[in-house]
Amino acid sequence: MPALFKWGGRKDASASVRPSPVAETPETLSTSKVLPRLLAALATVPSPVLMDLGPVVGGNIAFFGEQLACKIFVEDLFAEVERQAQAGTREGLGDVLLGRLDRPKGSLDGVLCWDLFDFLDKPTGQAIATRLVSLLRPGGVIYGFFGQASTELTQYTRFMVEGPNTMRLRTGPATPTKRSVILSRDLNRMFDGLAVAESVLLKNSSRETLFRKPF
């Protein structure tokens, strides 16, 4: 099983898949050039409001909550993606996810998407992106990873922030899904209204991107 990410200190990330919620797989410690920009953007706000679209990670709560004084909303959309995939009801996924993002416009300073959009079809991805843009305050940021290789996804990745520029990645089993590839120009269109603050193409062909809403 190839590693999803190959930047920084890459280790063999072959996963041993188990049906448990968090499968024990080798973890990869990676260095990020974009993460510091995200942190810098959040640091300009006295009490930033952050939404995490991934599964709750204790270390991330401690990092963003204690060290950056963020108020954090955890909406694990990946769990919903997996639930719908297992039930074979992907067609209704968009409405379900939008229902989870029912918040006042301009109420967020940051959104952590991780690699959610890899698992969404294009119409659903567009709907989610449009909603997220509306939820951001001016100056707010969206952070995500967008895979550029058209492969089948059989694992979810849990991103664990360990420091200002390091993350630990752990993978777990996923119902197989074809990755939704969004090219750079399509990415910009998808997040219309935001500017790309930083974007790095990683060795594994994933684009680590930080979008920012202009003031």
Partner 1 sequence: MNIGKSVIIKGDLSGSEDLTIEGQVEGKIELRQNILTIGTNAKIKAQVFAKTVIVQGEVQGNVTATERVDIRDKGSVDGDLSAPRIAIADGAHFRGSIDMQKAGAKPADAARPAEAPRPAEAGKPVAAGSPTPVAAVR
Site residues (CB under 8 A) for partner 1? 20-22, 36, 39-40, 43-44, 46-47, 56-58, 61-63, 65-69, 71-76, 163-164
* Beta carbons within 10 angstroms of residue 72's beta carbon: 17
CB of 91 to partner 1, least distance (A): 24
| DSSP H or E run through 40 | helix 35-43
CB of 56 to partner 1, least distance (A): 4
CB of 163 to partner 1, least distance (A): 8
What is the end-to-end Cα distance of the chain in Å, rounded? 43
Q: Which residue number, 84 or 206, has a Cβ lying nearer to partner 1?
A: 84
Closest CA to 211 of 181, 203, 202, 199: 199
Q: 107-127 burial, b if ≥16 CB within 10 A, otherwise e?
A: ebbbbbbbbbbbbbeeebbbb
Q: Which residue number, 4 or 108, has a Cβ lying nearer to partner 1?
A: 108
CA distance 153 to 169: 16
Q: Which residue number, 58 or 214, has a Cβ lying nearer to partner 1?
A: 58
Instruction: Provide the 3-class DSSP secondary structure of residue 130.
Output: helix
Q: Which residue number, 62 or 183, has a Cβ lying nearer to partner 1?
A: 62
Q: CA 198: distance to chain centroid?
A: 15
CA distance 86 to 40: 38
Q: Which residue number, 39 or 187, has a Cβ lying nearer to partner 1?
A: 39
CB of 182 to partner 1, least distance (A): 27
CB of 161 to partner 1, least distance (A): 9
